[in-house]
């Protein structure tokens, strides 16, 4: 366990700040000017040498200034940084952007990714509150004429998922009614996960009593169901990547971009953060493509409706203090907004 003297701590802090703001390695001479104590550059150099021995800062070459190492950022984040109180203007932006009317949870969550990316100029991810406890609360089949039927699935959280299908023969509402009744009787109230499980085994047999050819319907139902039960990350500010990437090789840019595009990868990258704000720096992220970036993740808690995730991807040299403050504020505001929203569906 590393312990730094007060002065070393101040120096590390200044190096992180300078490098984060200016982007250039920081030398002893420039440090001496802005540090509160009055010592010579030689003294600073001595201290820097010690910080380097500890592995907290590194040189880019033998005679360069220093930049923070991953370990240095880590120490900074864990021991030095104090979360900045969120800027009141930023808070207004958040509140205003979340203040509007929304028709779906997913709209709110998707919009959140956009707001956050706008405020940070980085790339952001959001995941809606987890669906583990989602239960099937309604199922409709609406005949639309012309060989089309729309299947609509509603959960106890008020989520609605729908899909339109083309069927060989037109059906009337009456013909569909037994199926809907079967679902109402047997499946309503069950967790989506359980329904999904049953779909493999019991349901096909049971449905055979109601329908001659249940396969088509099973496809439909399964398709809407898995849509409703799948977890999708929303990504905000994908383009912002261009601002903070260190890569100039288009090839690497492309693979990075694909990573963000295929939202199923994101789950493994982001993982399941704990309750408080987590910062992963450089190679602490379990994905080689991201080893030069930093990832800040946090959950937000919507009481009995479970927890969602917000995350932020940026350069390792980012203003952590401001970002953590911002994430904290967003966490709270989003949770509040969703609680409001869910209030409709609670008794």
Partner DNA sequence: TTTTAGCACTTAACTTAATGGAGTGCTAAC
Partner DNA sequence: GTTAGCACTCCATTAAGTTAAGTGCTAAAA
Choose, by CB under 7 A, the member of 33, 63, 88, 172 that binds DNA. Answer: 63
242 touches which of DNA, a second copy, none (CB within 5 to 8 A by kind)?
A: a second copy
- CB distance 299 to 125 below 8 Å: no
193 touches which of a second copy, DNA, none (CB within 5 to 8 A by kind)?
A: none
Count helices and strands in the chain by DSSP H and E runs: 14, 10
Min dist. Cβ of residue 103 to a second copy (A) = 5
Distance of alpha carbon 97 from alpha carbon 231, whole angstroms: 24
Alpha carbon separation from 89 to 85, 95, 277 (Å, rounded)? 11, 10, 22
45 touches which of DNA, a second copy, none (CB within 5 to 8 A by kind)?
A: DNA
Of 19-27, 237-245, 254-262, 300-308, the window that binds DNA (rule: CB under 7 A) is 19-27
Residue 49 binding a second copy, by CB under 8 A:
no
245 touches which of DNA, a second copy, none (CB within 5 to 8 A by kind)?
A: a second copy
> What is the residue whose two structure tokens read 């940026």?
314
Instruction: Find, among 72, 91, 92, the residue nearest to 320 by Cα.
Output: 72
Identify which of residues 20 and 120 has a Cβ nearer to DNA in the complex: 20
Task: Indicate the DSSP class of residue 318.
Answer: S
Identify which of residues 66 and 337 has a Cβ nearer to DNA in the complex: 66
- CB distance 139 to 151 below 8 Å: yes
Identify which of residues 89 and 251 has a Cβ nearer to a second copy in the complex: 251
> What is the residue whose two structure tokens read 């406890």?
133
Instruction: Find, among 307, 276, 277, the residue nearest to 295 by Cα.
Output: 277
- CB distance 310 to 330 below 8 Å: yes
Distance of alpha carbon 69 from alpha carbon 58, whole angstroms: 6
Identify which of residues 227 and 247 has a Cβ nearer to DNA in the complex: 247
Residue 250 binding a second copy, by CB under 8 A:
yes
Min dist. Cβ of residue 147 to a second copy (A) = 5
Residue 246 binding DNA, by CB under 7 A:
no
Distance of alpha carbon 310 from alpha carbon 279, whole angstroms: 12
Contact footprint for a second copy (CB under 8 A): 101-104, 137-138, 140, 142, 144-148, 150, 152, 154, 158, 160, 162-166, 239, 242-243, 245, 248, 250-251, 253-254, 257-258, 261, 344-345
Where on the chain is the footprint of DNA (CB under 7 A)? 24-30, 38-43, 45-46, 48-49, 52, 59-66
């Amino acid at each position: 366990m590393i312990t730094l003297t007060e002065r070393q701590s101040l120096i590390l802090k200044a190096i992180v700040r300078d490098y984060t703001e200016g982007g250039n390695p920081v030398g002893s001479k420039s440090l001496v000017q802005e540090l509160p104590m009055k010592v010579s550059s030689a003294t600073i150099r001595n201290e820097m040498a010690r910080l380097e021995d500890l592995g907290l800062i590194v040189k880019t070459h033998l005679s360069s200034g220093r930049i923070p190492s991953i370990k240095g950022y880590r120490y900074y984040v864990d021991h030095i940084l104090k979360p900045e109180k969120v800027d009141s203007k930023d808070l207004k932006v958040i509140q205003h952007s979340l203040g509007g009317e929304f028709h779906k949870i997913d709209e709110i969550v998707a919009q959140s990714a956009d707001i956050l990316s706008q405020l940070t100029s980085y790339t952001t991810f959001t995941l809606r509150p987890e669906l583990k406890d989602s239960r099937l609360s309604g199922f409709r089949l609406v005949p639309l004429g012309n060989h089309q039927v729309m299947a609509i699935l509603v959960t106890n959280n008020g989520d609605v998922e729908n899909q339109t299908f083309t069927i060989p023969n037109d059906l009337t509402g009456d013909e569909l009614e037994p199926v809907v009744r079967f679902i109402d009787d047997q499946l309503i109230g069950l967790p989506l996960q359980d329904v999904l499980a049953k779909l493999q085994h019991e349901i096909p047999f049971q449905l055979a009593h109601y329908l001659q050819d249940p396969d088509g319907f099973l496809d439909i139902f399964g398709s809407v169901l898995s849509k409703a039960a799948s977890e999708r990350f929303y990504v905000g500010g994908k383009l912002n990547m261009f601002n903070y990437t260190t890569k100039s090789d288009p090839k690497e840019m492309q693979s990075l971009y694909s990573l963000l595009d295929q939202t199923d990868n994101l789950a493994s990258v982001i993982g399941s953060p704990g309750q408080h704000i987590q910062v992963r720096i450089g190679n602490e992220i379990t994905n080689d493509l991201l080893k030069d970036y930093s990832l800040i993740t946090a959950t937000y808690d919507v009481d009995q409706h479970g927890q969602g995730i917000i995350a932020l991807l940026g350069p390792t040299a980012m203003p952590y203090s401001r970002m953590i403050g911002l994430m904290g504020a967003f966490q709270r505001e989003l949770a509040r907004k969703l609680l409001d929203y869910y209030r409709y569906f609670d008794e």
